């Protein structure tokens, strides 16, 4: 039950939910998440580490940049919760604002900031 508790605890923070909403769109660099949420790198990285450790996201390094994406759902609970979470986050006003900021940032940077 410890793994299940960790999975649910990861969802108990508004910033982490907003990060998950952004990652529903696909893989993102930390700088893109920072721009969308208007938060410093240290805050975003701390939340991403929590999401990674709980199994919600996976990361990869490309040069000096770190990219994050939703995990394939190694745990059955994450696989079951992902569609439900996606449906509810998409309808959130705060997530819609963050997605709009992300798209604006990507347009300014030529689709890929990193």
What's the pTM value of the predicted model, to 2 decimals? Answer: 0.91
DSSP track, 64-106: TEEEEEE---SSHHHHHHHHHHHHHHHT-HHHHHHHHHHHHHH
Report the alpha-carbon distance of residue 50 to residue 88 in Å, rounded. 21
pLDDT per residue as tens, the chain (114 positions): 888 999 999 999 999 999 999 999 899 999 999 999 999 999 999 999 999 999 999 999 988 889 999 998 778 999 999 999 888 888 888 888 999 999 999 888 875 556
Q: Which residue ranges form the domains of the chain, and what is each CATH number?
A: 2-106 (1.10.10.10)
């Amino acid at each position: 039950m410890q793994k299940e508790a960790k999975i649910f605890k990861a969802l108990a923070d508004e910033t982490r939910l907003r990060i998950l909403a952004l990652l529903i769109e696909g893989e993102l660099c930390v700088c893109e998440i920072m721009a969308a949420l208007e938060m410093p790198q240290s805050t975003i990285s701390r939340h991403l580490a929590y999401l990674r450790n709980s199994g919600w996201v996976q990361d990869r390094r490309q040069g000096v940049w770190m990219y994050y994406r939703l995990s394939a759902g190694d745990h059955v609970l994450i696989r079951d919760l992902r569609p439900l979470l996606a449906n509810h986050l998409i309808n959130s006003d705060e997530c819609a604002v963050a997605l709009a900021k992300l798209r604006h940032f990507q347009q300014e940077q030529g689709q890929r900031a990193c």
